[in-house]
Amino acid sequence: MRFNSIVILTGAGLSAESGLGTFRAKDGLWTRFNLDEVATPEGFARNPAKVHEFYNLRRGWLKEARPNAAHYALARLEQEHRGEVLTVTQNIDALHEAAGTRNLIHMHGELGKALCARCGASLTWEGDLSIETPCPACGGTGAMRPDVVWFGEMPREMDRIYEALAACDLFISIGTSGAVYPAADFVAEARASGAHTVELNLEPSDGASHFAEAIYGPATEIVSAYVASLLR
Ligand SMILES: [Zn+2]
């Protein structure tokens, strides 16, 4: 085994082949909603009903999505690698868990959870949310929101992520644009601690030049092959 401690960062490209990457085309969702409206605290304050509608639709589609070969390959890596494997995902779907990954950080939150802004409770949530939804923990209404990280909000568990980046000897970035911070800086953090760095993506990301190694192609093909090479 060449590597001891592995950190994996995953993004939208990983779930694209699970039917979740086609939102832009599907039902013209992105022509009816824009990111400023549905992915910022200000947008939620202005029009909570519209934001709830957007996430209710996406939460409904989650039920149709299934992990693909790349999710399963990463779960297998965690199970069979004789060392540490931490998966950090920017995705708010639950496909890593569904494939069997256990050591996982959802740095941008989870679509399958609701957060009460009044009492701070984070609750598993399968149905719809509205401005009338009462919080099961404190009973208050008007404060329930998707438990996801919006633009301008702090991503989750950053201390644990930077600790793992400082200790890893292999950093793998999969299906990310390399354009969203702070995740776009993880490769530099890993390099600074002497780790080997690999980008697995459909095409070179904005941060491609920062990686020591790169493999391009559909995630379901290149991730499975790369994991097989690590476990050989
Ligand atoms: Zn509450």
Distance 53 CA to ligand 1 centre (A): 20
State the pLDDT at residue 143: 94
Residues 197 and 90: their CA atoms lie apart, in Å, by 18
Distance 115 CA to ligand 1 centre (A): 8
Q: Is the pLDDT of residue 70 over 50?
A: yes
Please give the single-letter amino acid code of residue 70: A
Higher pLDDT, 22 or 65: 65
- 3-state SS of 39-50 is CCHHHHHHCHHH
pTM: 0.93
Pairing of strands 213-216, 196-201: parallel
* Distance in angstroms between the alpha carbons of the first and the last residue of the chain: 8
Band (pLDDT 50/70/90 cuts) for residue 28 is low
pLDDT digits (tens, 9 = 90+) for 97-155: 999 999 999 999 999 999 999 999 999 999 999 999 999 999 999 999 999 999 999 99
Please give the single-letter amino acid code of residue 139: G
State the pLDDT at residue 24: 46
CA torsion angle 159 205 80 87 (round to 10): 20
State the pLDDT at residue 180: 84
Distance 161 CA to ligand 1 centre (A): 28
pLDDT digits (tens, 9 = 90+) for 73-86: 999 999 999 999 99
Higher pLDDT, 60 or 225: 225
pLDDT digits (tens, 9 = 90+) for 46-67: 999 999 999 998 898 888 889 9
Distance 124 CA to ligand 1 centre (A): 13
State the pLDDT at residue 33: 78
Active site residues: 108
- Residue among 8, 60, 13 nearest 170 (CA): 8
Structure-block tokens of residue 205: 């990301």
Beta strands in 28-178, from DSSP E residues, in sequence order: 84-89, 104-106, 109-116, 122-124, 144-148, 170-174
Distance 210 CA to ligand 1 centre (A): 43
Question: Would you say the C-alpha torsion 138, 143, 144, 145 has a positive or negative sign?
Answer: negative
- Residue among 12, 145, 20, 159 nearest 89 (CA): 12
State the pLDDT at residue 30: 61
Q: What is the mean pLDDT of the chain?
A: 92
State the pLDDT at residue 15: 85
State the pLDDT at residue 29: 60
